[in-house]
Amino acid sequence: MPSLYEHAGGKEALHRLEDVFYRSVLADPVLKPLFGEGQPHHVDHLTAFTAESFGGPDRFTRELGGFTALIAVHRHLKITEQQRPPRPRQAKRDPLRRLCPRALL
């Protein structure tokens, strides 16, 4: 049985997904303060995290410190309720459906 990583299209497809996500975050006036002008490596790190979470290569853990590092990097952020993700039924999922139409969104 293929993993979710394989079903989603592997690294290249997840990189495209994360690129769309990251550009949308940087364009969002509510979320942009958390990200500033953005980081050139962020899409790569997001891709590694999602790939590993979906059953792909464990690069996020091996090279980027895994979940512990993720928490440490984000701990200082003062995320408001308005900046928190909506519940799944409220989320706008159309961009994800275009990139991963077979994904269970």
Q: What CATH number does residue 52 fall under? A: 1.10.490.10
Taking 80 as the threshold, does the pLDDT of residue 51 lie above it? yes
**Which helix (DSSP H) or strand (DSSP E) does residue 32 occupy?**
helix 32-35
Taking 80 as the threshold, does the pLDDT of residue 105 lie above it? no
Domain range enclosing 28: 4-99
pLDDT single digits (tens) 3-46? 999 999 999 999 999 999 999 999 999 999 999 899 999 999 99
> CB pairs under 8 A, 24+ apart, for 72-79?
77/34, 79/34
Query: Would you say residue 68 lies in a domain?
Result: yes
Instruction: Give how many domains the chain has, as a whole number.
Output: 1
pLDDT value for 93: 54
pLDDT value for 103: 41
For the chain, the first-to-last Cα distance in angstroms comes to 20
Query: Would you say residue 36 lies in a domain?
Result: yes
| φ, ψ at 47 (rounded to 5°) | -65, -45
Tell me how far apart the alpha carbons of residues 97 and 16 are, in angstroms, rounded to a whole number.
13
Query: Would you say residue 95 lies in a domain?
Result: yes
What letter does residue 39 receive in the DSSP assignment?
-
Tokens of 92: 């706008």
The amino acid at residue 53 is S
Tell me how far apart the alpha carbons of residues 11 and 100 are, in angstroms, rounded to a whole number.
13
pLDDT single digits (tens) 66-102? 999 999 999 999 999 899 877 665 455 555 555 554 4
